[in-house]
Structure 1
Amino acid sequence: MKAWACVSDEFDVMRITKTLVESATKKTCDLNNLELLQEKLVENLKKKKFLLVLDDVWNEKPGLWEVLQVPFGVGAPGSCVIVTTRNESVASMMGTIPIYRLRELSKDDSWSLLENVAFPNKDAHAYPGLKIIGEEIAKKCKGLPLAAKALGGLLRSKLDEDHWNDILHSNMWDNLNSGILPSLRLSYHYLPARLKQCFAYCSMFPKDYEFDVEKLVFLWMAEGFVQETEGNKKIEDVGRNYFDDLLSRSFFQQCSDDESRFLIHDLIHDLAQYVFGKICLRLEDHIDVVKKHNVPVKARHLSYIRGPNDTFFKFEPISDMKCLRTFLPLDQPLGFNFYCISGKVLGELLPELRFLRVLSLSGYQINEVPDTISNLRHLRYLDLSYTSIKELPESVSNLYNLQTLLLLGCHDLAKLPKDMGNLLKLRHLIIDQSCLEKMPSRIGRLIYLQTLSYFIVGEGSESSIGEFKDLRHLRGSLSISGLQKSKTKEAIDANLEVKQHLEELSLEWTSRFDDGRKGKTEEEVLDALQPHINLRKLTIKDYGGKEFPSWVCDPSFEKMTHVHLYGCKKCEALPSFGQLPSLKDLIIEGMDSLEVVGFEIFGDEYLQSGYFPSLETLKFENLKEWKEWLSFEDEVKGFRKLCELTIIRCPKLKGFSFIFPSLKKLRVKSCEEFSTFSKPPSIPEGTSGSLPGYSEAINFPQLHMLILVGCPNLNELPTSLLSLQVLEIDGCNKLAGFPMLSQLRNFVLMDCGCGVAWVSC
């Protein structure tokens, strides 16, 4: 068991414990009570050998450490807690063994690290002159890995001896007054001008704050740090290139437990504050700190940690800062469920900040946005996510410079401004399913729109799907609901086939199946909504046609990895998903008319190339009439990578006969007629040798987990389960015995009558 927690300046026992729980379980934990959190941690550490890392500790109070370590005593012998700190007294207080002092890197190791970063292709020997200069630069790093890494990122940008000599002989090596490492100041000094302000802007975040790249790029765009370039490159792509450039120079680093999020090393953060400190103000969430805060005269950007009750008094330091450009609340490290902000801040303070470009009220329990928001004519980024607003005021339509509007988690939102089509510069409208009844008209005018995450088809010409015709630049994820209102011509006009940057598409009809549904029209609409072949994920929900169009399973969709079908109750057969070359995840749910999963699912070309060549997870659920799953004699050509198979609430399915050479997890639940795992048919000569661990008597040679629940007619298990480690059986009354289970570690048997004979364990 391994877990990692970044501690930093504030030794918050609850936050650290919660971080350890989440790191150990790889799951989000919603507990905000220390006693419950410690019980959860004990539950995960008890009798296990564990390694916990507490990184960057500054706390010198023994009492806090004693509280934190209470759960650590339940582990198995050999468990270990590693603490990293830059304060020797902290190490003495916490340590139970002698302190291990990290020494500086040797000159050779400093050069080796710098060389690996500066020459990513490992071709340093092609530049003998640079090697000599680089070794001298490495000496000046004083054995500090971060310095060598940062300078390596700087040097790799220009493999030129003059450039390297300029860095070697820079007078910044002798300037120690700022307290910033000279190597880091040099790395910043030689940044291109376009990257300097993007990096320095990140001083807005607290130390160890984990941020999302996409949102950071949106903020850079709003502040004017990212500019359009010549050619077809979008401003978002330019911003992402800026980020990747800074990442390659070691100004950012990836979070250890979430590859999609990033943070800034403490020393790099000090550098950002040093260069941006006079125009960036970070308020603390403690009012006594705010009262004493010395507000920089030139401050243009405000960020602060959101508190459970942010009064007007908290923001008094900025009441005279009329030129503020950024108002950005940030999440608590240990989030609350309820945040409030004074109505006086919304009604009086914010409307006076007429030069704001970035405004976030995300997470606050506000019910409405004041009409005076239209005063903020320069606003480019507005985040109202996870608020309780029921509608946006019509005055939002006057924010003509708005680029990004975030409305995630606004579950009470029922109405958008009717004139949103006036926001001609809008590029990102990010909204998820809420109480919205319809979309504003003339969305099609927003021709620069890159992200439209959710769209509701309206009646008649109102918010018709034809609005997509001119939205050529859509990218990312798009969900369209209310398609029962769409006509074939409107679907054709949508022209989804040319939108090559769309990666995820969800098409939804109403869940109400009555006599008013026009199945033939719905078939025509779905056929007309064929997306570009770059699509990666497709979801079709509550479709009322009897069959699917051929594009749904066309092999030309080479990038398609996920297909989910939900509630398509009239469909009697499945498309030939087996011929999608990259399909990894397939879910079939709620198809009430499906009786047989036949050969058509494999595709016409299965004999030549094998069916489902990439499929890893397969799930069938709520198939009320499904009785039979047909297989081929030559079935070993398919499902070669399938790792997980789940069958739930398929009451008429009697069984299946397949060989799954890579299957690790099998779940069969609430399948009343399921009675047997048929023995596989004979294997063509010479085939079995290509299947590791296969023999003629084994359906599942690699199966590790088998869960059978609510299958009262099941009378036998597969004949051999040589790799099985976890077995759970519940409500299988006719099961008469067990095969050899030599590897079994966990076994649960419940409600299976009294006729069970245990054979071996």
Structure 2
Amino acid sequence: MQVATGALSPLLHKLGDLLVAELTLSSRVKKGVQSLTTELELMYVVLSKVGDVPADELHPQVRIWAGKVRELSYNMEDAVDAYMVRVCDGRQVELGPNNLKNRVKKFFKRTKKLFTNGKALHQISGAIHDAQELANQLGELRQRYDLVASTDGVANAIDPRLKAVYRDVTELVGIEDRRDEVIEKLFNGDDMSKQQLKTLSIVGFGGLGKTTLTKAVYDKIIKQFDCGVFVSVSRNPDITKIFKNMLYGLDSSKFANINEAIRDHEQLMNELRVFLQDKRYLIVIDDIWSEDAWEIIKCALPKSDLGSRVIITTRITSVSEACCPSCDDIIHKMKSLDNDDSKRLFYKRIFPQGSECPVELEQVSREILKKCGGVPLAIITIASLLASNDQQIKPKYQWDNLLSSIGRGLEEGGTAKDMQRILSFSYYDLPCYLRTCLLYLSIFPEDFEIDRDRLIWKWIAEGFIQGGEQDIRLFELGERYFTELINRNLIQPSYVDFHGRVRSCHVHDMVLDLICSLSTVENFVTILDGTKQRKSNSDSMVRRVSFQNSMSKHTTHQVNAISMSKLRSVTLFRTGVDMIQTLSNFHILRVLDLEGCNLQKSSHQIDLRYAENLLHLRYLGLEGTFVDVLPMGIGKLQFLQTMNLRTCMVMPSSVGRLGHLMCLYVDITVRLPVEIGNLVSLEELNEVMVGGTDAIEKELGKLAELSVLGLWWEGDDESVCNSLVVSLANLWKLHKLTSFLCGDARFDDSWDRWVPPPHLHAFYFYHCTSTLPRCFNSSLFPVLSCLHVVVDRVRLEVDIQILGKFPALRSLWLGTTKDQCTLLSKGSSLAMMHSPS
């Protein structure tokens, strides 16, 4: 039900923006907007609570009601967007990236005369009236059926994680070596006498076997302690119950009636401290989800020099770090099983004792295990689906069918549902805004390496990231969202640059299976890959489509694109799809991502002139499509935010009309039009070729919102370089700057006069000067953390002394044009360079 909440959030923001335009809306329409907003805000509160409950634990009435709210939200947002498009009417909108309400107010004042009694006002008025009636009906239904409290009672089902606590260790594979490794870390070779309390945190995503491993460790070493207890916390911890369970587990005789006793947190905490004060204890806190819960629990654990140990397990990296602040504490990161252990565990569950895998099943077994990725829970689950009660091996076609289903939603079954429930705990622990962002990853095929920036800009285009703080850009919020999903181990890093920043990620097949299942239930993304029929009600209800590589030609022709009138997003991972032939039918399309599809080799030539009619478009991805020319009509797309045009060779001057554009990726060979200075909302311009004349250089100085800029320039005219340096001095919001000079000219005097922006974090400076410029002063680079410099001559002692004083510098490359750049230092060692010692 989280998708309904995610659909409401951007609508509420847009209705708020409409209310800002009080001079342009009639009193009747304004009252309608206010009434609708109030009802939707109440629904948002209810949906936030409903969204915390798994879909299979809700009554059908709740799911139906939430689905209707979702469709109401989508339809109303489409109406508001259509209104904005009609009002825009081809005129450039002077909107910046921040202070949204002020921008909207100026926009409406400017265009008041266009729609005082026009068609746009009539349409928005009718849409609001219809939405009001439906919202009122849904509000009455909510009250009539008391939908918030309605569940099917499944919430009281046995937690499937309990099986891990009581599983016989002899059933497991590779557990002994892992157990002994953790024990070695826990004791570190000490005799346990006169030791301070030590905490060990075991961290990893759901299904890796944290609880199973911890229980094996606990059972192995508990006899070395005076007392011990193994207690689970869960997502919504009841601290009183946890403390009572701890007391009862530590001494069941002394605290036999503790569960019936009336105690508050403080009393129970004191009782625990008194009991543990003079004892060497072993406490396991399993499955902790928040730092706040740990801060309370640790207050009940007295510190002493008796050699006590605390083990915690968590799925969240930041929680594990909070639990282990001391240098003596240890964080143990769970690893997947290797190939041999994975195979042993898999075969042990399927084949009769002592028998081997039949030759005809070896290949499909390897492919299944590859998808399981060494995750014990996944291996056990898949093996259980293939095992037979009568010891008979299932035929190969059943193995093939199961293989094809992994990553697209496993077939129904008790074991598979247990696995999904365990993984879903991580999903339901996410804040509302992150759940929608995670579900969106279902658009990518399995084993796909997902570029971080591509993902974040698409989140923005879809409306999943809503601005709040005045000085925080939408992309910065997106970076925080991405980092949080990494922190929670729901996505895994694929490529980490030498600054330690994750540039791309992938989704484990088991997590992908979960989010694909949730996405299908919520009708969030429709995946068309030729494997099975989608489960949405009708084509008209499809909002987002992902065409994936395994689609057959036969399946392609079954797509009824014309009927998908409400389609918002199209992402292609293959070419030759008839659907793109009907671009002009997708009137409210926001995202068109064709990245990587070589349209020149497509059997159906795609005419991008149709794209100029997609007036709602926010994201256009054409990298790797080998489209040579962008149509002049692209300037009509007034609400376009991101264009990825790498490999596109010709850019028309009409690009200068895109007043909302925030991100522009182009190939280094593309010459930007002079009108580039009109893109006042632009935040990221990855590559721009400058030089020759100073026209483009001067225009760059108008892009005051730029945060990322890459300059590749040629020529030997010093006046052009002077213009460039002057323009750069106007870009005070730059965080990352690359300057690469092609050729032998050097402009030391020009760069000596440059004043860098105060927020510059990364600077890549190649071949522009003969020596280190005079502007390289520590006072001018207060937050610079990454610096790459290539000059003709390095004055080693002098330059190192200068750069070593940069207060925030963590990574430095310094080299000459004739030599390879050398990494001189990282981290705190930079400060040592200029130390008096």
Compare relative contact order (CA 8 Å, sep 6+) and give the higher one, 1 or 2. 2
Higher helix share: 2
Q: Which has the higher strand share?
A: 1
TM-score of the aligned structures, taking structure 1 as reference length:
0.49
